[in-house]
Each structure stands twice: as structure tokens, then as C-alpha cells.
Chain A
Amino acid sequence: MKGKNLVSITDFSKDEYLRIVNIAADFEKNPNQKLLNDHVVASLFFEPSTRTRLSFETAANRLGARVVGFSDSGSTSVKKGESLKDTIIMVSGYADIIVMRHPREGAARWASEVSSVPVINAGDGANQHPTQCLLDMYSIMQTQGTLDNLHIAFIGDLKYGRTVHSLVQAMCNFNATFHLVSPEQLKLPSSNKMHIKNNNLKYHQYTELADIMPIADIVYMTRIQQERFSDPLEYEKVKNSYVLTKSMLEGCKPNMKILHPLPRINEISEDVDETPQAFYFKQAENGVYVRQALLAAIAGVK
């Protein structure tokens, strides 16, 4: 994996997913390993982010690497009109690995083509967020003991939720059955369903959250954003129909776990936090181990 870019989750093979998951497990046991003492990691956040940026920078620090970069393009020469290409060429002369988030879809792919050092996509608009996907897979492995043959339910905004798109693509490698719960106007895009069909896997679509409770091994919740609706009345109608509460967990499978890429607003009520099914905060913590694994693998030290 040395020197590889990670732009889209499909850039990695099934073996590479499993390798990252295994290395991450090692970092979880022993997080402080100064393997990248002589490395500089550029953290370029053209758009704000809390979890992704902090967990990447924590991961780099725990590996002993130095981090340079910015958390908002307002303080950079992008504001003066510098092209992404020029910024990336320049930074690739400074750093050993570039981690970037950008508001435009495809920005990370373009950056990886002009950069002389590996680029890790930390989110490009509504397109891909592959490191979130890897940490989701790590969390699934950790809670289920396997990635194979699982029933995975995705709830909420399946149209614009990039974490959903990436995870659907990745889990197509593991004979998953997909249960898709969303309002009519936020269904999974056909390009994503094409991945499922191409792998001869099954998916089922629902509009009621309760329907999937007895079936799912993993319940992957997402936030429904008001700005996705052109009609505010439509939003009001659906916003409370995809809220997970403690009482709804009765009758779920004993191994069922709830994941959420966070931030959560109201779609998981706080009484769920105390249940054995809640896994989303541990999932966020897993982001550090998975990003350590990625940085180490791409730098060629693991």
C-alpha cells in the first residue's frame, strides 16, 4: 500500500480493507508508536470539520509525525485566487503525505493527479469519504467479529449521505444484504444501487424505521438535513419519522449495534446512548486507530 492514494473507497481492494482493519486493531492495543518521526503530514481542510481533522491530526501525532496545514481556506492564498492544482503542487514539495477535505466533488482525485506525494481524501463535497468508510468497517468488524454475510440497515438521508454511498460500495465485497430506510425524496441514488446489482446482492427499500429492527445486524443512522428539502413542509413531515428511541430497540437482534457518522442532532434520542446497542461514540474513537493504520500503511512502515 506504500505510496498509494486513497481518494475513493473503490481505490482499495478487499484485501487492503482487511489489512487496514488488522493494523488498526494493533494500534488500538498500542496507540503510541513513533513510526513516522521523520514525516510531515499536510492537513489541508478547505472546508471546516471537527472529527475528521482532529482524528487525523491525533493519529499523525501519535505516530510521531509533524502536522502542517490549515483548518479553513479563508486564511490561505486560495482566497487570493490560487488554483487547487497550484496549492497541491506546492504542498507536495513540503510534506510527505497530504490529507485533504474540499467542498467540490472530485477535488481529491484531481489533487492526487497533480501531487507528487500520496493524497488521502478526507471528504470531497457530497462524493466520497473513504476514511469514514474504513472506520465504519473497522467498527462493524469489532462488533460483529466478521464483515461477511451481514444485514446492514441504512436510515435517513441516503441520497446525499456520502458515508452511506461509500459504505454500500465497500460492503458489496462482503456479501451484505442492504436494508434501505428513507423518505421517498432521499432514496439511495441509482448509481449506488448499480453497485449492489452488479455484485448480485439484495437490497430492500422501506419507509418505516420499525420494519428493519428485528432483521438488522448493523443500524447505520444518518442525519436528515433541512436544506435538502425545497419545501419546508416536506421536511417537517419526515424529520421525526426517522428518530431512533430506546423503546424501538425491543426485539432487535442481540448482536445489533447502532452506528452514526456524527454529528447527531435528534435522530438518535439520548436515552439510546445508555443501551448496549449504542456504538457511535466508540466508532468515532476508532477513527484515530484507522487513520493511524492508513498513514502508517501509505508511508510504508506497516
Chain B
Amino acid sequence: MNKDQRHLNVTAIENGTVIDHIPANNVFKVLHILNLENNKNQVLFGDNLDSHKYGKKGLIKVSNTYFAANEINKIALVAPTATFIEIKNFEVVTKKQVEVPDQIRTIVKCFNPNCITNVENVPSLFTVVDKEQIKLLCHYCEKITGKNSIVFV
């Protein structure tokens, strides 16, 4: 393999998704939330890459994988600035922005230790009551988990 081909392997994908503009150091959280830890396709990622817009950023490239809107919005809590770029035949087909969803299921832990979701095997469910500040109202205990208390399951 010559040097150019190796370079190409890292920078371009034939078919799949590029997730760009992930806040630096949140790449691993995004990999986890999108369950890319168990993806069988080629997954490339970088962290603390130079970014014109944000200074530093993270980036993920996944071959042969596309994400539905509800999956894209799952990462809103850790990467609200991210862009999902769909690639087909080396060409950019669409670009999708992350939007904070109305509800968050299963991925966040309720911060209230006495909440039933932290005691029994109950999947968590939150209504996003403040999309700017990120305030999550637990469907079960009705307590609000704020941005700084968010822990991913």
C-alpha cells in the first residue's frame, strides 16, 4: 500500500456518514450513545482536530451506516453543534443538524437517587422542558435533571 492510499483510507469514505463538529472530548460519548462501539463497519474517529469554527473539534466517520432523525437527536445533549453528513459514492448527499428532541429515552440516568428508575429495571424517560439550558423532567419522579447533572447510562 502506498502512502497516498493510506491517506485516502483515513480521510474519505465511499458510503456512510461523517459526523462533524463534535465538541472536543465528547467523541467517546457520541460513540457510546450511537452504539458505534458495536458497529461492525469501519469506524474512524479523531479528537482535538483543528476546526475553523470551534478551534478544536471531534469527528467520526462510519462506513455503510446512516442515522435516522431520532438517532441523530440522541446526541443533542453532548454534541448540539454536530452535523451528520451522508456520503454516497464519495459524494455528499445530505447534511443534517442535530436538534434537541422533545423527549429523551433510556440514554440518560435520572439524577435523583430515590427515583424508581435508579432502583428497579425501568428505562428512563425525560421530557425536555428547557431546550436552551437543557433541563430534563423525569417522567417518573418528576424531578428536573440539569445539564451539569447529566450522566449517560
Q: How far is the CA of A193 from the CA of B21 in the complex (A)?
A: 37
Nearest chain B CB to A162 CB, angstrom units: 10
Contact flag A105-B121 (CB < 8 Å), given A110-B116, A125-B114, A126-B114: no
Pairwise interchain contact B141-A127, C-beta atoms closer than 8 A: yes
Asked if B117 and A106 make an inter-chain contact with CB atoms under 8 angstroms apart, the answer reads yes
For the complex, is B143 an interface residue (Cβ under 8 Å from A)? yes
Quick one: closest B residue to A109, CB to CB?
B140
B138 at the interface (CB under 8 A from A): yes
Could you say which interface size class chain A belongs to? 20 to 34
Q: What residues on B are CB-neighbors of A85 within 8 Å? A: 120-122
- Kindly identify, within residues 78 to 115 of chain B, every residue whose CB is under 8 Å from any CB belonging to chain A: 110, 112, 114-115
Question: Which of B116, B143, B144 touches A107 (beta carbons < 8 Å)?
Answer: B116
Q: How far is the CA of A109 from the CA of B141 in the complex (A)?
A: 8
B119 x A104 contact (CB < 8 A): yes
A182 in the interface, Cβ–Cβ < 8 Å? no
A231 to B121, CA, bound (A): 35
Contact A128 B116 (CB under 8 A): no
Cβ proximity bits B47-60 to A, threshold 8 Å, 1 near / 0 not: 00000000000000
With an 8 A cutoff between CB atoms, is A163 at the interface? no
* Interfacial chain A residues near B37, Cβ < 8 Å: none
B115 contacts A106, CB within 8 Å?
A: yes
Chain B residues within 8 Å of A102, by CB: 116
A76-B138 Cα distance, complex, nearest whole Å: 29
Residue contact B140 to A105, C-beta cutoff 8 Å: yes
Q: Does B142 contact A106, Cβ atoms closer than 8 Å?
A: yes
List residues 100-156 of chain A with CB under 8 A from any CB of chain B: 102-107, 109-110, 124-128
The answer for the CA separation of A8 and B139 in the assembled complex, in Å, is 11
Among residues of A, the one whose C-beta sits closest to the C-beta of B122 is: A110
Q: Which of A103, A109, A127, A191 is the one whose CB lies under 8 Å from B144?
A: A191
Q: How far is the CB of A109 from chain B (nearest CB, A)?
A: 5
CA A263 to CA B129, docked complex, whole Å: 35
> Which one of B121, B122, B142 lies within 8 Å of A128 (CB-CB)?
B142
Q: Which residues of A contact B119 (CB under 8 A)?
A: 104
- A106-B121 contact, Cβ under 8 Å, with A127-B142, A191-B144: no
Question: Closest CB of chain A to B108's CB: distance in Å?
Answer: 14
Q: Does A84 contact B (CB under 8 A)?
A: yes
Task: List residues of chain A with CB within 8 A of the CB of B142.
Answer: 8, 105-106, 127-128, 191
Q: Which residue of A lies closest to B118 (CB)?
A: A104
Cα A106 to Cα B141 in complex, Å, equals 4
Q: How far is the CA of A191 from the CA of B135 in the complex (A)?
A: 10
Interface check A230, CB cutoff 8 A: no
Bound: A274/B113 CA distance, A: 43
**Contact partners of B143 in chain A: CB under 8 A:** 105, 127, 191
Interface membership of A83, Cβ < 8 A: yes
- Asked if B120 and A105 sit within 8 Å, CB to CB, the answer is no
Cβ of B139 and Cβ of A105 under 8 Å apart? no
> Which residue of chain B lies nearest to A194 when distances are taken between CB atoms in the complex?
B129
Please measure, in the bound complex, the distance between the C-alpha atom of A103 and the C-alpha atom of B142, giving whole angstroms.
15
- Beyond A104-B114, A104-B115, whether A83 also contacts B121 by CB under 8 A is yes
* Residues 12-42 of B contacting A (Cβ, < 8 Å): none
Q: Is the Cβ of A110 less than 8 Å from the Cβ of B140?
A: yes
Q: Which residues of B contact A127 (CB under 8 A)?
A: 141-143
A92 CA to B85 CA in the complex, in Å? Answer: 49
List, sorted by A's number, 18 A–B pairs whose CB atoms are closer than 8 Å.
Answer: A83-B121, A85-B122, A104-B115, A104-B141, A105-B112, A105-B114, A105-B141, A106-B110, A106-B116, A106-B117, A107-B116, A109-B139, A109-B140, A110-B120, A110-B122, A124-B116, A124-B141, A125-B141
Which residues of chain B have a CB within 8 Å of any CB of chain A?
Answer: 110, 112, 114-117, 119-122, 129, 137-144
Beyond A105-B115, A191-B137, A194-B129, 20 extra complex contacts between A and B, CB < 8 Å: A8-B142, A84-B120, A85-B120, A85-B122, A104-B114, A104-B115, A104-B116, A105-B112, A105-B114, A106-B110, A106-B115, A106-B122, A106-B138, A106-B140, A110-B116, A126-B114, A127-B141, A127-B142, A191-B142, A191-B143
